């Protein structure tokens, strides 16, 4: 079982959407996939077809086999759950007191049930990021190909290094560009600069900006299900293949 956490230095980069769609891409390739939503926005429940009125999730039930929901898209998931403000503060305090809470929860899952566990996290330096990195084998840093995202790279990579220092199971971190414009000189310059600075850490697949992605979200479906042949779906399928190849090579 390989644990991959999706992280970002800032919001609005499409990280949660990418997490869901990569999970669907892995499932389409015969992999057994669990998505854990470690973001208080609790958005994966909408991506994965859960009743929007449902309040259950890991913040209430923990990470265990009984908390897992089945999606219509071949992916299983544990939503974050819906909490009141006071409950959220209390939950975050518990996470700070128990930095391996997520790691221990995953360890208690059925060990033969999943090939991949994908963890979605909120942007920036949070206790959720720390929890995810304590458990992860890999980290995918999701960026836009713009100057603002480029400026966050060094800081987020430093956070990854800090929070995986004592995680002997951690393999590597990578950078993946999302919502890449087809024709943008600046975006291609950013990608070139990333490769110059970080080399093979940059995933050789960039996910194109595509109107099919927000359309799919409006219909509460992954884009791989909504429009499987669009450019974004093709790139996400290639990203899923890259992730499988990387896992098998480790």
> What are the extents of the domains in the chain?
2-249
d(CA 51, CA 144): 31
**What kind and span of H or E run contains 36?**
strand 33-37
d(CA 245, CA 250): 9
pLDDT at 105 over 90: yes
d(CA 146, CA 128): 25
Q: Quick one: pLDDT at residue 73?
A: 92
DSSP β-ladder status, 69-70 and 33-37: unpaired
Dump the DSSP string for 186-212: HHHHHHHHHHHHHGGGB-S--PBP-TH
CATH number of 2-249: 3.40.50.300
d(CA 137, CA 154): 20
pLDDT in tens, 5-62: 999 988 888 899 999 999 999 999 999 999 999 999 988 888 887 777 777 889 989 9
Distance of CA 158 to the CA centre of its chain: 18
pTM score: 0.93
- The residue behind tokens 């999701």 is 142
Two structure tokens written together for 220: 């509460």
CB-CB neighbours of 92 under 10 Å = 16
């Amino acid at each position: 079982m390989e644990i991959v956490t999706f992280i970002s230095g800032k919001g609005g980069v499409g990280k949660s959407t990418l997490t869901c769609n990569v999970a669907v891409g892995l499932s389409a390739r015969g992999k057994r996939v669990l998505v854990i939503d470690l973001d208080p926005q609790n958005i994966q429940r909408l991506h994965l077809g859960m009743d929007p009125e449902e309040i259950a999730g890991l913040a209430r039930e923990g990470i265990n086999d009984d908390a897992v929901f089945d999606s219509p898209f071949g992916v299983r998931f544990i939503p974050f759950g819906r909490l009141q403000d006071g409950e959220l503060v209390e939950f975050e305090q518990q996470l700070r007191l128990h930095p391996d809470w997520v790691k221990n929860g995953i360890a208690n899952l059925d060990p033969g049930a999943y090939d991949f566990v994908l963890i979605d996290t909120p942007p920036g330096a949070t206790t959720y990021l720390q929890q995810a990195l304590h458990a992860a084998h890999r980290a995918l840093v999701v960026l836009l190909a713009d100057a603002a995202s480029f400026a966050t790279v060094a800081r987020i990579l430093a956070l990854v290094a800090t929070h995986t220092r004592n995680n002997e199971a951690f393999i590597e971190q990578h950078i993946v560009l999302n919502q890449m414009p087809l024709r943008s000189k600046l975006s291609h310059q950013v990608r070139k600069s990333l490769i110059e600075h970080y080399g093979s850490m940059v995933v050789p697949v960039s996910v194109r900006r595509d109107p099919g992605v927000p359309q799919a979200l409006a219909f509460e479906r992954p884009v791989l299900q909504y429009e499987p042949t669009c450019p974004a779906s093709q790139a996400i399928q290639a990203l899923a293949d890259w992730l499988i190849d990387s896992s098998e090579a480790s």
